[in-house]
Amino acid sequence: MDTLMKVLSALCLIGALNWGLVGLFNFDLVAFIFGTMSVLSRLVYSLVGISAVVLVILAIRNQMNS
């Protein structure tokens, strides 16, 4: 579970940094690296979104168990 949390957190951090760059500088790092809406960039966006949802679910579950 510890490894899963690290992976989920890293993916959310990547997403947060990317959105920060988009908001501040109108620069999409994921699209720059993998191409605009390429299969790889869509995969990264999807994994970031899924990671965020899983982290929220785990946080709610932890809160209920505390």
pLDDT one-digit tens code per residue, 5-59: 999 999 999 999 999 999 999 999 999 999 999 999 999 999 999 999 999 999 9
d(CA 9, CA 62): 16
In the structure, how many helices (H) and strands (E) does the chain have?
Answer: 3, 0
CA gyration radius for the chain? 14
Query: Is pLDDT above 80 for 3?
Result: yes
* Closest by Cα among 21, 2, 15, 3 to 50: 15
Q: Residue 22 belongs to what domain range?
A: 2-65
Looking at the structure of the chain, the number of domains it has is 1
Q: What's the pTM value of the predicted model, to 2 decimals? A: 0.89
